[in-house]
Structure 1
């Protein structure tokens, strides 16, 4: 096991919260991660989520949390996680810098970065690394930063001392379950089909019931309701990450109509909502306007 002062390195790189999960994952991981009806945006293959990488056999996972909460009382029509630069881009830059530092210590070590775009189960990895716990709102909750966090993981051949999961848990107030616009929480499994966040990203025509759910708040992408009512998010600090401090909570839908797809990508390609394209955003605004005029 290498003598690596990861605490000091992460502090220098402004990575404010990290933990270590051992590898391979626990035997019960397959049962925990299995979903009979997984969301289409989640990899359904549990084996792929357990594998992590085929490039090498990892010995440890360095799991990092990146808080993104910023106080804002003005108008917004986008979910908070999309207010600033796409977190995938930001996290990759931070983790690449961390790998560069670790390679100086051990140039034979291997690494792979995972941030929401690979099958690896991000929330479960963060739980194993002792960084927080699951909420009834299906979010991962950090004791310090609440649920307004995104997760990045480095799988590595370095053998690092693992942390243990926290004993702390969601207080179980059920406010998220009551407030959920589509009542998709509080079941044995997350009922993604009536989640507003999912519906704002779903392609094709929506049913009247789906449109009714989508139109309950002004957001044209995502939904923060279950996080806004969560007591674990009360009085959490503002993100210390500069890339997440510069926010644009509102997108002008009328302007999108004048942009070509190429122009849209050029202007908004660095934002986390851009992958779905402008037509979905325009559709969502049309539904919200139409339903609220009835």
Structure 2
């Protein structure tokens, strides 16, 4: 299969961006993935991330797809942007399943395995190798057209495909994200998750007064978009072409959550990416945000 055929197939399936990375990962991959403060939410060890925990014994290529989720709005918000539409795990899985089915029709003897943020696969680095973007100082993955408002889906396959070339473009390194970060968690070459608001809003248990003060700096009860909002690479980007991300619910009413049972909560919001932590954490964060820190 040529790159043209793969791009044409992606266009037919309404997948906006696609590229191919070599597999297995190159030796220098470990230098890009190792970090002084790995986030506890990152699945797997460094070795597992390099291997991708693949069940395919002879994987030869990684097909990487980007799914933009940016939607402009003037509505009230208290959730990170990636949570506004349908759960991206389900959306990406659906698109990649269709792509696998199309590939199986052409190459039925090959093996395919879908990854979307639920395995140790180093998705941002694989997307970089696939020529789909570059790293920002805020540690997000940035595409020249869609900015950092994308989620990544990957198909590991035994099908041998010509690999794309990584982009030479880099982050502007203007420092806006470093200055704006509520917890000053960005260090330029890595993220210290311990003071990252996005992490703290998802962290269980009691928080210190310093951690609560970080959460209270913005209205979001789940996640944080500050470093993305100030990023020059995210200015004047187009709205997502993905229908499942275009219908948005950017605000969750904490008062409505208080009266819900856990079963009712799951039934109402189980299809949302922010629901996995449950309502107790969201209500805790809302109480912190409304708390007087003066």
TM-score (norm: length of structure 1)? 0.97
Give the total of aligned pairs.
Answer: 293
Does residue 31 of structure 1 match 2:26?
no
2:286 alignment partner in structure 1:
285
Q: Is the 8 A contact 1:147 1:227 kept in 2?
A: yes
Give the structure 1 partner of residue 76 of structure 2: 75
Separation in structure 2 between the aligned mates of residue 165 and residue 244 of structure 1, nearest angstrom: 27
Structure 1 residue runs without a partner (length 5+): none
Equivalent in the alignment of 1:189: 190
| Residue 229 of structure 2: aligned partner | 228
In the aligned structure 1, how far is the partner of 2:141 from the partner of 2:7? 22
Q: 1:106 to 1:44 in 2, by over 3 A?
A: closer
CA distance in 1 between counterparts of 2:88 and 2:57 reads 26
Q: Is the aligned partner of 1:126 residue 2:127?
A: yes
Q: Is the 8 A contact 2:43 2:118 kept in 1?
A: no
The verdict on how the C-alpha distance between 1:2 and 1:149 changes in structure 2, with shifts beyond 3 A counting, is closer
| Structure 2: gaps of 5 or more residues | none
Tell me the equivalent position of 1:6. Answer: 6
Conserved 8 A contact 2:178-2:227? yes
Say whether residues 1:110 and 2:141 are aligned partners: no
Q: Is the 8 A contact 2:89 2:116 kept in 1?
A: yes
Return the alpha-carbon distance in structure 2 between the equivalents of residues 58 and 276 of structure 1: 34
What SS does structure 1 have at the residue aligned with 2:273?
coil
Give the TM-score taking structure 2 as reference length.
0.97
The corresponding residue for 2:47 is: 47
Structure-1 separation of matches of 2:184 and 2:219: 18
Question: Which aligned segments of 4 or more residues in structure 1 are displaced greater than 4 angstroms?
Answer: 1-4
Tell whether the 8 Å contact from 1:2 to 1:159 is kept in structure 2 after alignment.
Answer: no
Q: Please, what is the CA RMSD of the aligned residues?
A: 1.3
Separation (CA, whole Å) in 2 of partners of 1:189 and 1:162: 27
* In structure 1, distance between residues paired with 2:101 and 2:189: 42
